[in-house]
Amino acid sequence: MNSFASPQTLTALPFPRTNTGKPSADDLYSRVFDAILEQRIIPGSRFTEESLGDMFGVSRSSIRQVLTRLSHQQIIILRTHHRPRVAATDVEQTRQTLHARRLTELTLVRLACQQPRPQDLNRLRDLIDSERRCLERDQRGPAIRLSGEFHLQLAEMAGNAPLAHFLGSLVPLTSLAIAQFDAQAEGYCVWQAHEGILDAVERGDARKAETLLSRHLDYLEMTLLNAGSVPSPNRAAG
């Protein structure tokens, strides 16, 4: 079975490229992850490095680097003598991931409130604006990815590298669950929720930031776990 969606949908979304026309490693990662989140690469499906390279117009070595990065995030499953495949998350895995995120992020947001730097705040506001524009354009994959990126960059502000690294293993799995469960979690005015959290961080109001973050995670948990327990008729077959 073909691992990809119909040919009409295979064109990768436009992202900034280097002057040589070759996408940077981060750019290519974003484009491949977006394709997974939009299910242009079917959940649970297997594919080859060659087919994915052809899809994005890059070499096997470039694709291999991206797949390795995605495998570290448990988005892609790599096994010797097997073709790579997209992970298929389940309700229990999602429940555990969200529980771990809550414990980790509440600590990180408190730390981020201690000494917020203007350059970090500005970078996060730019990210929120990009997320908002993607939602307005109905670019679901990039919107989900950017939503997760907000949490990762906020974690970097906290200045605790081990906790931020741990969160980096949890957020992509949440993004995958949102995409695969066909939930509307990313439509929950997410950028407004992020904006409220960031405003509290900028004021150094740790109590408010924690409350807003906890409310945001509550909604994610309710939406994802409910959606995951009831198969969606519109979900792509694995």
What's the number of domains the chain is made of? 2
Name the β-bridge partners of 77: 85
For residues 105 and 78, membership in a common domain is answered with no
pLDDT per position as a tens digit, 52-107: 999 999 999 999 999 999 999 999 999 988 899 999 888 999 999 999 999 999 99
Residue 236 predicted with pLDDT over 50: no
For residues 48 and 29, membership in a common domain is answered with yes
Answer with the residue of higher pLDDT: 183 or 216: 216
For residues 133 and 209, membership in a common domain is answered with yes
Last residue within a domain, chosen from 63, 86, 109: 86
For residues 80 and 97, membership in a common domain is answered with no
Share of the chain above pLDDT 70, in %: 83
For residues 109 and 211, membership in a common domain is answered with yes
Nearest-5° Cα angle at 66, 101 to 217: 15
- Which residues span the domain enclosing 120? 91-229
For residues 165 and 51, membership in a common domain is answered with no
CATH classification at residue 12 = 1.10.10.10
**Which of these, 12, 24, 35, lies nearest to 65 by C-alpha position?**
24
The answer to whether 205 and 113 have CB atoms below 8 angstroms apart is yes
- Measured CA to CA, the distance from residue 26 to residue 29 in angstroms comes to 5
